[in-house]
Structure 1
């Protein structure tokens, strides 16, 4: 029984944004995240690193250890740890501490990947009770999830298209243009052109090649509208009956429920 008491208390502090202790904890967490990201950015500046590198290294480790303890507490204070571990925020929390530890095993600048912990600031929407933003974020995630198969088909179609176009450009340009030295290089050109990026490092010099390039450029503008239309359609559908609040389930930590919800819509546990 004692175990449940301390777990419930930790859950209230860490997961709940409605209580004074929970709000204070989340505000302190966000401040720590921002300070740790600033320390990482400063460490990447050679002149600052040369003078304060050791201090910044210690600061980074201090924040990493604190975030590690917090991550462990988030796991032990809920009854279904996997629901948090494999959630979006759970994965971000883990990724935010791994780079520093990997830096002990792998030399280089991999520890700068800890900058991903800035994503944890997304919790500010719960803390400040910006319910309208939570609602919009939930709608967007729902729409993207519903669109994933259509987007996948569209992506596969584009891959086939740039492969064919790249191969055609290789046939047309390679005899006179050394830039198009292989089909993979030509596919790279097709991707850059059809996405309207246009780096300019590869360009056709034959009249036929330029004609094909013009078609690919115009095709690129037409293609851009497709994924936008897919997501917009799903967004319209996802707008219906979307309600969220900050009430967190003590069993699985899910925190998107209707305002009058009594039980968790994911695991059925009483809220």
Structure 2
């Protein structure tokens, strides 16, 4: 199997060096760069969350605000560096990570015109996805693909299950609205459906509860139904996992005998032989 021709690199030497530093992981400097970047991202997200806490001293709040601008400047330099170092800057800018990198700096600048938008900076947590690259967790991507295949294979069952649960909470909510009424906190059918969702999912906030005997009987049925359906989605996804595993095991290379190929793979990843359809 002939490998695809490599794309010629016409970047200047300093751009190649910068690209190896920012995008690469082959050198200690590149790995350390990404690790420092992750530390800055975590610190920035924590600063944004702390800034939203009421009752902080004015000096602390001002310090967090200054720290946020320091983080914004550093992330802006990182974003500009990625644009300069990328082989195809436009392709990077329109990619998932490129858009996330842009969104992590925009709220700070927008807050100068629209106060309050700086709290959108928690989107920086998305940049922590780079941890999979930094700490070489890409080897788990095959298992992530297996989860995606299992969910894809179970999507119809999950949709039916969701519709069934939705119908159940609507029925229980409507019944409680009719039995209890506004005088016991069930002021509307949507409010009663909220109670039914909380009850069936076994969360049980307790902010609304039935007071009459019939209402308590219906609530008991709702709670028992919630426990009864807990195992249903687990079983659905388990069957999906089994089907996905069987599909992978069925794709065995006739040349070297390697199994566990991706479902859309056309060639063996060990020897390059055509896989059976």
TM-score grouping bracket, smaller chain normalisation:
0.7 to 0.9
Q: Quick check: 1:17 aligned with 2:25?
A: yes
> Contact 1:204–1:210 (CA<8 Å) still a contact in 2?
yes
Q: 1:60 aligns with which of 59, 68, 86?
A: 68
* 1:86 Cα deviation after fit: 4.9
Residues 1:124 and 1:224: Cα distance change in structure 2 (over 3 Å): same
Length, aligned pairs only: 245
Residues 1:235 and 1:114: Cα distance change in structure 2 (over 3 Å): farther
* 1:214 Cα deviation after fit: 0.9
Alpha-carbon distance in structure 2 between the residues aligned to 1:153 and 1:4: 56
Residues 1:70 and 1:261: Cα distance change in structure 2 (over 3 Å): farther
User: In angstroms, what is the RMSD of aligned CA positions?
Assistant: 3.5
> Contact 2:38–2:131 (CA<8 Å) still a contact in 1?
yes
Residues 1:53 and 1:206: Cα distance change in structure 2 (over 3 Å): closer
Residues 1:202 and 1:54: Cα distance change in structure 2 (over 3 Å): closer
* 1:228 Cα deviation after fit: 2.3
Q: 1:129 aligns with which of 122, 136, 148?
A: 136
Q: Quick check: 1:207 aligned with 2:213?
A: yes
* 1:91 Cα deviation after fit: 5.0
Residues 1:41 and 1:154: Cα distance change in structure 2 (over 3 Å): same
Q: Which is further off, 229-238 or 192-201?
A: 229-238
Q: 2:204 aligns with which of 198, 213, 217?
A: 198
> Contact 1:126–1:134 (CA<8 Å) still a contact in 2?
no
Point out which structure has higher relative CO (alpha carbons under 8 A, 6+ apart).
Answer: 1
- Alignment correspondent of 2:179: 172
* 1:8 Cα deviation after fit: 4.8
Alpha-carbon distance in structure 2 between the residues aligned to 1:12 and 1:236: 41
Q: Deviations over 1:113-156 (max 9, x none)?
A: 32332342232232222344444444434444554454344323
- Alignment correspondent of 1:268: none
Structure having the higher Rg: 2
> Contact 2:11–2:87 (CA<8 Å) still a contact in 1?
no
TM-score when normalising by structure 2: 0.71
Alpha-carbon distance in structure 2 between the residues aligned to 1:184 and 1:166: 8
- Alignment correspondent of 2:193: 187
- Alignment correspondent of 1:120: 127
Residues 1:145 and 1:119: Cα distance change in structure 2 (over 3 Å): farther
TM-score when normalising by structure 1: 0.72
> Contact 1:192–1:199 (CA<8 Å) still a contact in 2?
yes
After TM superposition, the structure 1 = structure 2 runs for residues 67-82 of structure 1, keeping only pairs within 5 Å, are 67-74=75-82, 77-79=86-88, 81=90
Q: Which is further off, 92-101 or 220-229?
A: 92-101
* 1:182 Cα deviation after fit: 1.3
Q: 2:39 aligns with which of 27, 31, 47?
A: 31
Q: Deviations over 1:163-214 (max 9, x none)?
A: 2221122122228x43112111111111111111111111112222211111
Q: List alignment gaps of at least 5 residues for structure 2.
A: 1-8, 249-259, 263-267, 273-277
